Amino acid sequence: MALKVLTLNVWGLHIFAKRIRERLHYISQELEGYDIVGLQEVWSQDDYLFLVERLRRILPYSFRSKSGMIGSGLCVFSRYPIMAVHSQQFTTSGALRELTSGEVFSGKGMLSCRIMTPNGPLLFVTTHTNGCCRESQMYEMTKLIDNYRGNDLVVLCGDFNTGDTHPAYRLITTYLGLKDAFAGCSVNTCNLGSNIYTKRVRPARIDFIFYSSDTCPTSQMEVQV
């Protein structure tokens, strides 16, 4: 059985972000087509509860991680039961130069959920790293995942604030042995002209979905973009 997975930074920091509730309304409509969703920057409990209500019939299982002054911004929605959760705040945090974005007050980290899918247990991890200290955060994250994974299938997704040529990216593909689900695809998913919120800069893919190919052979994995 195939699993349809999504990761998305919803840009939900009040004061700094625009038209949050309106965007969440439309985002929730798109999420109904997925089995498991990892979201970043859901900073408000009210916004999270809005999504819970909107998705309760399709993705009835959810969890939101709370850490730092304004939370981690991480939450997971699932079609299948969430059996256990672990929320871990990174020991390194954002620099003061990120004060203008508000993220210096957040508790950036990782949210791990063990989900019982029809294919068996899945360790689903979503994260959002700081651009200024992503190397140390991703090293910490890979060590934790390596300790938690056991024999479970692993899906790691989120906003990594780094590209696929950065050494921090290779920590995941080499140390953890996870595969980039988008690798080899030619479809552009960032800096689209139809996105009115996109800055007109050189496109950069900094959001990823990784999976463990050792427990889920490529021959049984179909990646659609």
- Look at strands 120-128 and 36-40 and give their pairing: unpaired
50 assigned to some structural domain:
yes
The mean-pLDDT minimum among 152-161, 163-172, 188-197 falls in 188-197
- pLDDT tens column, 61-115: 999 998 766 678 999 999 999 999 999 988 877 655 555 555 666 678 899 999 9
Residue 140 tokens read as 């910490």
Residue 5 tokens read as 């997975």
Kindly state the average pLDDT of the residues 7-20: 90
- Would the pTM count as exceeding 0.85? yes
% of the chain exceeding 90 in pLDDT: 50
Count the domains in the chain: 1
d(CA 126, CA 7): 8
Which domain range does residue 18 map to? 5-220
d(CA 77, CA 10): 14
pLDDT at 217: 47
Residue 180 tokens read as 């980039």
Give the CATH number for residue 63.
3.60.10.10
Kindly tell me if the per-residue pLDDT of 25 is higher than 60. Answer: yes
160 assigned to some structural domain:
yes
